[in-house]
Structure formats: structure tokens, C-alpha cells
Amino acid sequence: MFNNPYLQQQNMDRINDQIKQLESIRNQMQQPMQPTNLTQNFQLAPNKEMMRFANSLEDVQKEAVYVNTPFFSKDMSILWVKNISGDTKTYELKEIIKKDEKDLQIEFLQAQIEDLKKGMKENAKSNDDNVNESVESKESTDV
């Protein structure tokens, strides 16, 4: 049975295949290893828009946030900032309108008019006080 030439040939073929595999492995080991490109993407929080809108403070408090998140009212007059721990700060927003030279001059003149009006009221009041004082001082105390 061991002297069967067919089995001997089969064993020899198997040994030759194993030798070829070992030589292939040895050649791979001798070549420098090239690093493989590895890309990892981590998504720690839901990817939502950075600016959110809310109708009220209650709407803001219902929302879950993973970073400090601004919430704006629809008319952009109120800003709520909610942090990770759930604390909310409220701010009132006012639009800043850029003024040209004419607008600045109008404001300056209006302020001057107001100052003059205040001065006139103070003068009238002090004149009324003077009139009242002079009448009171001239009345005799002897009756």
C-alpha cells in the first residue's frame, strides 16, 4: 500500500504545494509592510443645524442638546442659549441700524431741542417759584 506510485505522487504534489506556500509567506515577510489607510468617522451627537428656532422658553427646555446651542425666536427678538446641563440663559436682541451722516446730525439736533425744552421748563418753574415767594413774603403777618 505504501509502495503505490500513485499515492507517492500525490504526497509529493502535496509537499511541493506546501513548500510553495511557505516560500510565498517567506517572501511576503521579507518585503516591507505598507501601512493600510484607515479612516474612522465618529458621530458623537446628532448632526443638526447650528441655529434653532423656538416659540417659547418651554420649547427650548424640551429640546435635548449635546453642545451649547442657541435658540432664536421667530421674530429674532429673543435669544435663548441652552448648555449641556440644561441651564438656559435668555437674551433680548435689538437690531443695530447703521446710521449715515444725515441720521447722526438729525439725532444731534433732536437732542439739542430736548435740552432746550428742559431748560425752558426749568426756567418757567423757577420763575413760578420766584413769583410765589415774592407774594408770600409781601403778605403781612400782623392782622
* Distance (Å) of CA 107 to CA 102, 113, 119, 120: 9, 10, 18, 20
pTM recorded for the entire structure: 0.41
Give the pLDDT confidence score for residue 7 in this predicted structure. Answer: 77
d(CA 9, CA 65): 73
pLDDT at 6: 75
| Tens place of pLDDT per residue across the chain (143 aa) | 557 777 788 888 899 999 999 999 888 887 777 777 778 777 666 555 577 889 999 999 998 888 889 999 999 899 999 998 989 999 999 988 888 999 999 999 999 999 999 989 888 777 766 655 555 555 555 55
Q: Judging by DSSP bridges, how do beta strands 78-82 and 69-72 pair with one another?
A: antiparallel
pLDDT number for residue 29 = 80
pLDDT score recorded for residue 101: 92
- Which pLDDT score, from 0 to 100, does residue 134 have? 53
| Sequence ranges of the domains in the chain | 52-92, 97-132
